[in-house]
Amino acid sequence: MAYFTVNFLNGNYGWLTLFNFSFFGFSPFPADMVISYRIKDYIWPYVDVLFDLPNVPQFLIYIVSICILLPKV
């Protein structure tokens, strides 16, 4: 509730601006963004992150954590 209240009172542009800023970078005109109705535009950033994940220094920590957290079969 606090999240929505703060965003409403400060004139936030909404989830589209946050999504774009998180995955594509800063937009100088966030009010001019158009909502896309193509599913590809929303799935591609996640796929891109999966391909870049092995190049991240913390990749080994992620793998070890997953192996520890997965139940032994």
- Global pTM reads 0.44
Q: Which tens digits make up the pLDDT trace of 4-13?
A: 777 777 777 7
Instruction: Please check whether residue 8 is in contact with residue 24, taking contact to mean a CB–CB distance below 8 angstroms.
Output: no
pLDDT at residue 10, rounded to an integer:
75
- Per-residue pLDDT averaged across 16-34, rounded? 69
Return d(Cα 67, Cα 54) in angstroms, integer. Answer: 16
30: pLDDT confidence band, cut at 50, 70 and 90? low
Q: What is the pLDDT of residue 29?
A: 66
The pLDDT tens digits for 39-69 are 888 888 888 888 888 888 888 998 899 899 9
**C-alpha atoms less than 13 angstroms from C-alpha of 68 in its C-beta half-sphere:** 6
Cβ atoms of 31 and 13 within 8 Å: the answer is yes
